[in-house]
Structure 1
Amino acid sequence: MKVFLLEDDDAIAMGLKYSLEKEGYEAIHVRTKADALATWKTNTFDICILDINLPDGNGYDVCKFIKEKEDVPVIFLTASDAEVNVVMGLEMGADDYVCKPFRINELMARIKTVLRRSGKGMSASASDGNGILSIKNVRIHTSEAKVGILDDTTGKEEIVELTALEYRLLLAFCNNRGNVMSRSQLLEDMWDVSGDFVNDNTLTVYIKRLRDKIEKDPADPQIIKTVRGLGYIVEK
């Protein structure tokens, strides 16, 4: 997993790079907007960590450049948690933000969560090599962010319309196949369109809607199963 790190403070960058590589990531560090744009012209990355205040510009400009080139998850590092900074970052397509000073463990957890939400955290074994994940008769086309249902009789695939949050919820289950997902774990992965955390009651509604769209019998779900007192599971 390749991480793009834009940070002009060498002390922070050195610590981050060390921690990322210790976790098994490949981290490429640059200090300026100019270096960031030049690096992106010849490389691709799985996730970006962008400082906002730079000596020759700001991280917003870099985020805009990256998002126009490729839909890669972005986490902003900001010295201020002012609402205007947060909203601006989210409106530009950022997936999360972390305020300085921050704890390394918190940032690592945020990275893993953002990767899971984006589908980049999935294991290779879950895919058929063409960017398609399969759960029973459900096909998730990760490269196109589309979901199809195979007809048992004809074998034809019918595309179902999922909202962005329903799709992220399905990916969260898929990326954790065979493991019980508690409601709190699922809530960590879920944001609504305005960037707000989804609450517990809303999660219940989205699970019901997702089951209505992908289960043969939503009243007796065979894909997203309830584990009473614990949460939900999608079996391997």
Structure 2
Amino acid sequence: MKILLVEDDRTIASGLEYSLKQEDYETVLCYHAAAATDIIHNQIDEIDLCLFDLNLPDGSGYDLCQLVKKRRDIPVIFLTAYDDEVNVVMGLDMGADDYITKPFRIRELISRIKSVYRRYHRDTQPKNLIEIKNIQINLLDGKVYKDGKEILLTALEYRLLLIFANHIGQILTRAQLLDQIWDVGGDFVNDNTLTVYIKRLREKLEDHPQSPTIIKTIRGMGYKVGD
């Protein structure tokens, strides 16, 4: 994810940029509204989410938010020292997706970013397309793609992937998985067979099947896809 960060306090900006990079977010940092405006006009198609300080030396985060929303419908989170109701309402009316008041803990901000992006992505994602990291599932033609290249799955592998895709962020026990796939194709699937199919699915989807990042094992509980 690429984040446009606009913050005039260089100390705060530097700390935020470092923390975001530690979370594997790419940042485009601006200290002034003018620089941010230039980015919005020329690079907005590359931006996934915006973090705007409200009070800037040469403008306002409100104005930047309006400009972004006119060009692309992407999430915007305001950073501000003010926590009064008027500013909160005004920010949301401008189209902001969330609002966090300084000082804040970086973990809280990261959590807000993930929550807003996940909610936004889920709400705007076409219903015939499900995306999980670099995996795309086209529900219309029943095909699965990795980095744009089609992956051939068996009927049961596809069904298993759909179960995970329809429960993003939820931990699914082996019993729940077995209950939903046991009769696909008229074949009985036992616990050992499920292990084999999860292994095969990982080999096709994961860059490193031995260290999966898509279908994650939650020790003692089951499996989870997504945050």
1:175–1:110 CA distance, 2 compared to 1 (3 A) = farther
Q: Deviations over 1:170-198 (max 9, x none)?
A: xxx84716635xxxxxxxxxxxxxxxxxx
When Rg is computed on C-alpha atoms for both structures, the one with the higher figure is: 2
Aligned twin of 1:2: 2
Aligned twin of 2:56: 54
Aligned twin of 1:123: 132
Query: What is the distance in 1 between the residues matched to 2:166 and 2:14?
Result: 34
1:177–1:85 CA distance, 2 compared to 1 (3 A) = closer
Corresponding pairs, count: 144
Give, in angstroms, the shift of residue 125 of structure 1.
Answer: 4.7
Q: What TM-score comes out, normalization by structure 1 length? A: 0.55
Structure 1 residue ranges, 4+ long, deviating more than 4 angstroms after superposition: none
Q: What TM-score comes out, normalization by structure 2 length? A: 0.57
Query: What is the distance in 2 between the residues matched to 1:38 and 1:175?
Result: 39
Query: What is the distance in 2 between the residues matched to 1:73 and 1:111?
Result: 9
1:100 matched to 2:92: no
Helix, strand or coil for the counterpart of 2:24? coil
Q: Deviations over 1:95-148 (max 9, x none)?
A: 1011000000000000000110011795235523xxx5x49x9xxxxxxxxxxx
Query: What is the distance in 2 between the residues matched to 1:76 and 1:24?
Result: 21
Structural mapping, 1:1-236, within 5 Å:
1-43=1-43, 44-119=46-121, 123-128=132-137, 134=139, 174=166, 176=168, 179=171
Which residues of structure 1 form unaligned runs of 5+? 138-172, 181-232
Query: What is the distance in 2 between the residues matched to 1:12 and 1:19?
Result: 11
Name the one with the larger helix percent: 2
Corresponding letter in the other structure for 2:6: L
Corresponding letter in the other structure for 2:133: A
Query: What is the distance in 2 between the residues matched to 1:40 and 1:174?
Result: 34
